[in-house]
Chain A
Amino acid sequence: SAVISQKPSRDICQRGTSLTIQCQVDSQVTMMFWYRQQPGQSLTLIATANQGSEATYESGFVIDKFPISRPNLTFSTLTVSNMSPEDSSIYLCSVGNRPENTEAFFGQGTRLTVV
């Protein structure tokens, strides 16, 4: 298993500002993912964080709005840039294991409110 520490757990931010969310894993993992989840709804994949290369973004998400870093196999950050109230959501980090490399473990999430 993997233990994921996600920071901050929650934040209230002013519109137009940016917030960087950190995800730290206690072991090296191949795949790291960033999700968004509106309260009471399902999860939407933002991007897959690739170690040593640019993240792979899903349709509707762009690097300028959600820049992602992955400097090594245990750490990643997601930045929500130039925030608006529509960005208010829960952001989740997830890691995957082989062989399926699908999401096996999740952080506790970051609850973001933009005012």
Chain B
Amino acid sequence: GESVGLHLPTLSVQEGDNSIINCAYSNSASDYFIWYKQESGKGPQFIIDIRSNMDKRQGQRVTVLLNKTVKHLSLQIAATQPGDSAVYFCAESHNAGNNRKLIWGLGTSLAVNP
């Protein structure tokens, strides 16, 4: 069936290092991808998105890379800070009839060590 999975359920990094969170998806019809950050006790927060006609998009300290050939998505966080500690979810979206279907990954917990 359709699924979006994460390679690493937990990731621990040193403050100041770069973090890379990976995600695999299986639906070749997916044309829109989103990364969310969820801090403890809060709802998910939109970080960055990318459409399938792109392979890279940059935001503030974050970069999303999309490799459609191998159905792989990654989120790179530059100079990771303690405030980046959270669970990160990838999600893929595709058309489903008159609406769009969003499929969520399992989540990766990022721990930043001071």
Contact = CB atoms under 8 A, between A and B. Distances in A.
B74 to A, nearest CB: 18
Contacts of B42: 108-109
Contact-residue bracket for chain A: 20 to 34
Contacts of A104: 46
A101 B43 contact: no
Contacts of B91: 102-103
Interface residues of B, number: 19
Interface stretch (A42-50, A65-73, A81-89): A42-50
A57 interface: no
A42 B106 contact: yes
Contact of B100 (A42, A43, A94, A100): A100
Contact of B99 (A4, A6, A56, A107): A56
A109 B43 contact: yes
Contacts of A105: 46
B86 interface: no
A42 B104 contact: yes
Interface string A85-115: 0000000101000001111111111000000
